[in-house]
Structure 1
Amino acid sequence: MMAPVYRLPIGVNCLSNNGKVYVLGPCGVVDFDCVSKIYRKGNVIVFLPYLTPYYSSIFTQAVLGVVLGYSVELILRGIGYKVYKFNEKLIFALGFSHSISIDIPAGVSVRFNKKTLSLTSANLGLLQNFTTSIRAYRFPDSYKGAGVVYVNEIVTCKEGKKN
């Protein structure tokens, strides 16, 4: 059986220290917990003990993230829904009696208009958790389609009351 060998792209560095693996690249740094140690020669890396398929996919996501980056776009669909930034927090007006403030995690950059929100990060897991926490405050309504939706998401609306 051959050891799984990973080739790093140009400009990407990988380190392991105290049970953590750090992947550094032009778009940022991604770290994750792993018990394996890194042995490298040039741009070829071998993990010993071998990575499980779960950690192997996390490693490949980290390498793609630090090279290309990940981005998610959200749209606030509804009357009076808007977002603005104040002191490294996102403040949402989502039709409640109060506004909702969410801390922006380190490693996520945010660009927005009043109705659209673009999130970018090198860490895919962090980005998905952050977008899910935003959507949890106002999930798309099944009757009007209002709420926080992804850009290409199609919300199928139910038929309203019948006489």
Structure 2
Amino acid sequence: MTAPIYRLPIGVTCLSNNGKVYVSGPCGVVSFDCVSKIYRKGNMIIFLPYLTSYDSSIFTQAVLGVVLGYSVELILKGIGYKVYKSDEKLIFSLGFSHSIFIDIPKGVLVRFNKKTFSLVSANFGLLQNFATSIRRYRFPDSYKGAGVVYANEIVICKEGKKN
């Protein structure tokens, strides 16, 4: 059996230290837990002991993230729904009697438009968790479709009451 060899793109560095693997590139740094050690030869990397399929997918996501970056676009659908940023916090007005304050994780960049905002990060897992935690506060309604919706999501609404 031959060892799986990973080839790093230009400008990406990878190192392991105390059970963590750090991948850094032009878009940022991603770290994840891994028991394997890295052996390098130029831009070729071998992990010993071999990576499991789960760790291998996390490593490839990290390499793609530091080279290209990941982004998630969220849309606020509904009357009076607003979001703005203040002191590394997102402040949401989602139809409740109070505003919702959410801390922006380190490594996530937020860009705003009128009713849409996009989250950009090199760490795909962190980005997905942050987007779902935002969406948890106002999941799309099944009758009107109002709430926090992904940009490419299609919300199928139920038919209203018939007379």
- Give the 4+ runs in structure 1 shifted more than 4 A: none
User: Which amino acid is 2:140 matched to?
Assistant: P
The equivalent of 2:140 in structure 1 is 140
The equivalent of 1:113 in structure 2 is 113
Q: How does 1:78-97 map to 2 (within 5 A)?
A: 78-97=78-97
1:86 Cα offset (Å): 0.7
Aligned CA-pair RMSD = 0.5
Q: Between the two proteins, what is the percent identity of the paired residues?
A: 86
Q: TM-score, normalised by structure 1?
A: 0.99
Given the alignment of the two structures, is residue 55 of structure 1 paired with residue 55 of structure 2, yes or no? yes
1-structure distance, mates of 2:153, 2:49? 41
The equivalent of 1:156 in structure 2 is 156
Between the two proteins, the alignment pairs up a number of residues equal to 163
Q: Which runs of 5+ in 1 are unaligned?
A: none
Given the alignment of the two structures, is residue 9 of structure 1 paired with residue 21 of structure 2, yes or no? no
Tell me, yes or no, if the aligned pair for 1:27 and 1:68 is still in contact at 8 Å.
yes
Q: Which runs of 5+ in 2 are unaligned?
A: none
Aligned with 1:55: secondary structure? helix
Aligned with 2:110: secondary structure? strand
Aligned with 1:149: secondary structure? strand
Tell me, yes or no, if the aligned pair for 1:84 and 1:114 is still in contact at 8 Å.
no
User: Which amino acid is 1:110 matched to?
Assistant: V
